[in-house]
Amino acid sequence: MHFEKHFLTTMNRCYAAASIVVDGRTRILLATEGEGPCLAWEGPAYDRPQTVWEGPGGTMSMVPVPGTNGEFLAVQLFLRMFQWDRAKIVHVRPLPAGGYAVSDMLHLPYIHRFDLLESGGRVHFIGGTLADAKDSKEDWSRSGKVYVGAYEGPGPLAVRVLKEGITKNHGYSRLTRDGRPCSLVTGEEGAFEATPPAAPGAEWTLHRFMDWPISDIAAIDIDGDGELEYATIEPFHGSHFRVWKRNGSGWALVFEHPEVSDFYHVVVAARLRGEPVFIGGCRRGRQQLFVLRAVQRAPLVLQPQLIDEGVGPSNVHVVHEAERDLIVSANREKAEAALYIVT
């Protein structure tokens, strides 16, 4: 697998990465968690940035709105070291004449990750707050929550609490199971799977399937045996990148990255050129961005392949094109937005 890096721009505290499709053309998005902009680049060249907003910044997540021409939701004002009480979700709409319209949707203190899932003929919102409130960086006495609600278009978004008591509620990823989307949520209490209603009037379901501290998680069937493997970062902003596989009623550790370093932050499950992989990254130590591939399936052997080093990625996003795939990477510690072409 070959990776070709394209530098996009310098961006202090580059953090969030996503993509939208406007008039049939892909636009990749990168935004800062500090005070500053969100920028977009349109394919196929991705060579000229557009300004989505100049500020305020504090962007943790960006998610396209299903069934629209490039509309998306984003977190803003997740700013300052620990007092993220001003955090909110905004709605963003590309304008036909250029530029973007940005409007407030939901003030939700400490909102960190969120998603929009299509199920039962509706679009459902799910979001996690890192905590309820904090008096200091080290204060985790008031745990985070998981909120859900029905997304019904631009305008106020009504949410309710689905789950309380998730300390350091940091991790989120989307998973499709049996043709239906669901959400993986993680914290000190473990990993939870939340599934939206399958029909009007039905309820969300949520269950815990891992019971030890997990910062972030992603899942894919990497060896093709019909069972999911789960890649985790442990513990919060943790020093270990691990892969787990079910072993009867428990779990077997099938891989641990050889570098033990604070602040692993990227764990994404994806297909690159059709091959199921995990993408990982760390913001300390060698600050690597890497892909994890199955080089043997019975017994399972996983091997990391280096993509880049000395970049300290915070988040990545994968875009599929006909002849190539793209890894959009927010290389926070190097203060750069980057694109890796996969062939």
What the block records as the tokens of 242 is: 């691990």
Q: What is the arithmetic mean of pLDDT over 147-176?
A: 97
Per-residue pLDDT, 248: 86
Closest CA to 266 of 229, 294, 321, 308: 308
Q: What are the helix (H) ranges across 55-132?
A: none
Per-residue pLDDT, 300: 95
96-to-70, 81, 99, 101 alpha-carbon distances in Å? 11, 37, 8, 11
What residue type is 156 in one-letter code?
A: P
Per-residue pLDDT, 202: 93
| 56: preceding bond cis by omega (within 30 degrees) | yes
Chain centroid offset of residue 61 CA: 7
Burial of residue 61, with CB atoms counted within 10 A of its CB: 0-12 exposed, 13-18 middle, 19 or more buried: buried
Q: Return the DSSP state at 334.
A: G
| 235: preceding bond cis by omega (within 30 degrees) | yes
What residue type is 293 in one-letter code?
A: R
Nearest-angstrom CA–CA distance, 290 and 276: 14
Q: What is the pLDDT of residues 43-87, one digit of tens each?
A: 999 999 999 999 999 999 999 999 999 999 999 999 987 889 999
Cβ neighbours of 224 (radius 10 Å): 9
Per-residue pLDDT, 317: 98
Q: What is the arithmetic mean of pLDDT over 264-273?
A: 98
Closest CA to 199 of 115, 124, 114: 124
Cβ neighbours of 102 (radius 10 Å): 14
pLDDT of 214 > 90? The answer is: yes
Q: What is the domain extent for residue 138?
A: 3-342
| Contact (Cβ atoms closer than 8 angstroms) between residue 283 and residue 297 | no
Per-residue pLDDT, 80: 80
Per-residue pLDDT, 82: 84
**Residues 6, 320, 112, 210: what is their CA dihedral angle, to the nearest 10 degrees?**
-120
- The residue behind tokens 């641990």 is 256
Least confident range from 27-31, 110-114, 120-124, 199-203: namely: 199-203
Per-residue pLDDT, 74: 98
Q: What is the pLDDT of residues 94-104, one digit of tens each?
A: 999 999 999 99
Residues whose CB falls within 8 Å of the CB of residue 91, separated by 6 or more in sequence, listed in order: 65, 71, 72, 73, 102, 103, 104, 105, 154
pLDDT of 33 > 80? The answer is: yes
Domain count, the chain: 1
| Contact (Cβ atoms closer than 8 angstroms) between residue 175 and residue 219 | yes
pLDDT of 126 > 80? The answer is: yes
Q: How confident is the model at residue 215 (pLDDT cuts 50, 70, 90)?
A: very high
3-state secondary structure of 332: helix
Q: Return the DSSP state at 48.
A: S
| Contact (Cβ atoms closer than 8 angstroms) between residue 211 and residue 189 | yes
Nearest-angstrom CA–CA distance, 42 and 285: 33
Per-residue pLDDT, 13: 97
Per-residue pLDDT, 171: 98
Residues whose CB falls within 8 Å of the CB of residue 250, separated by 6 or more in sequence, listed in order: none
Per-residue pLDDT, 242: 98
Which domain CATH number covers 312? 2.130.10.130
Q: What is the arithmetic mean of pLDDT over 99-128?
A: 97
What residue type is 281 in one-letter code?
A: G
Q: Return the DSSP state at 59.
A: -
What the block records as the tokens of 125 is: 């919102």
What's the whole-model pTM score? Answer: 0.97
Instruction: Give the H or E element holding residue 207.
Output: strand 205-210
